[in-house]
Amino acid sequence: MESPFDLVVLGAGSGGLAAAKRASRYGAKVAIVEGDRVGGTCVIRGCVPKKLLVYGAQARHQLRDGSAYGLTLGTVRSDVSELFRRVRAEVDRLNALHLDFLDKAGVELVTGWGQFMDPNTIGISVERGGAVERQLSAAKFLIAVGGRPVRPEIPGIEYTWVSDDIFKLTDLPKRMIVVGAGFVACEFACILQGLGVAITQVVRGRRLLRGFDEELAAAVLDGMHESGIEVLFRSSVAAVRGTFGQLSALLSEGGSVPCDAILMATGRRPWLQGLGLERADIAVQEGRIQVDAESRTSMAHIYAVGDVTDRVNLTPVAIDEGRAFADSVFSNRHRKVDHNLVASAVFSNPELATVGLSEEDAIARYSADGVLIYRCRFRSMARALPATGPLCLLKLVVRRETELVLGCHMVGEHAAEIIQMAAIAVGMGATKADFDRTMALHPSVSEEFVTMS
């Protein structure tokens, strides 16, 4: 057994990296264990490459609008394989940066797959499920291995993709089915449609984006319909027939949809497989590691952050959880993460961003009579000359008694950038009067937030 560490982190994603570097800065001896590339879901197969593909799709939309601005374009060749190559090159660059950051922080990177041998020991295998070749002990442990996409158990599921697979492509199919209603499904449906793929989205329920404000979700659907995406509600894929490139999705209500590829965007789950949690007496509840407000598991010296805890599964949240853990445990700067007011975005077309309570949640908490709704819907100036594209929707949810702004929501261009700033005001307890007193910046989309009446 090697000399013990102060901290061993399982998983070099956003939360694990943040915790490891900060703990090392406080003087702790830290090792981080990772069997995949350093950077985690966000950098390697999630937020970053996805947003780059969003920009790739937007570039094509902008080219189509050229004539509205007096531009006569010649032949434009679309090379999707080059786009994907450049995206992967950027991921490689970021992966190298994170390796350098760890080295500069003095964190030892242990390449391999970690599992608990007992509550105080981690075994390292070169291959997942392979023989243990190294063992590490530590005073504290942090589990930050994230989550993974899940596939439903249906016949032919082996011929479908999950979101991870999209980033490995060198070319795109002509026709594709996207299964799911969440943000991953909606984002990829819009990205792929923007890159020239004919999309049919299959949704089991009656609406998109459950958990978001229903009016905003409907506005996103309007924009998706306008772009040509077909959405089938109250439907699910019961089986897949054929082979790659020539598939048919059999629907639960009867009938089938031919396609070249199927993306299963039906959710993500904490990745607990092979961690040996039972050998460390770590409690698991409903498929996630159970933690308290300080990210401590059922074992006092073992903590968990990020998607593996299935609290608020967003990169900035995992980072703050990791840093709060390091602050509290290694520097006596005790603090807890506030999960109650977290801004979020869906990079669909149109884009959705939100902070605070939805209209439905506000009414459930304060009653319909206790809530005021301010909204405006319009075509932005950016779409005035093309005279096409989705409308913007801006919405404020206000408590009638105090005029406190409970929620600030938007569907439209730059929604995420705008709501990021609005989140500061909402977090500070701004009222509708505070918004009204703010001088508008004209002409802009965001000025509507301070001129609503």
pLDDT single digits (tens) 242-262: 998 999 999 998 999 999 999
At 75 the pLDDT is: 85
pLDDT at 2: 67
Q: What stretches in the chain show pLDDT beneath 70?
A: 1-2
Whether the CB-CB separation of 295 and 303 falls below 8 Å is answered with yes
Predicted pLDDT at 129: 85
- The whole-angstrom distance between residue 409's C-alpha and the CA centroid of its chain comes to 18
pTM: 0.96
Q: In angstroms, rounded to a whole number, what is the distance separating the alpha carbons of residues 419 and 287?
A: 32
Query: Radius of gyration (Cα) for the chain, nearest Å?
Result: 24
The answer to whether 442 is a known catalytic residue is yes
Fold adopted by 350-450? Enolase-like; domain 1 (3.30.390)
Decide which of 3.40.1010.10, 3.50.50.60, 3.60.10.10, 3.20.190.10 is the CATH code for 157-266: 3.50.50.60
Rounded to the nearest 10°, the torsion over CA 329, 331, 333, 339 is -40
- Are the folds of 157-266 and 350-450 the same? no
Domain ranges of the chain: 5-148+269-330, 157-266, 350-450
In CATH terms, the fold of domain 5-148+269-330 is FAD/NAD(P)-binding domain (3.50.50)
So what's the pLDDT on residue 73? 87
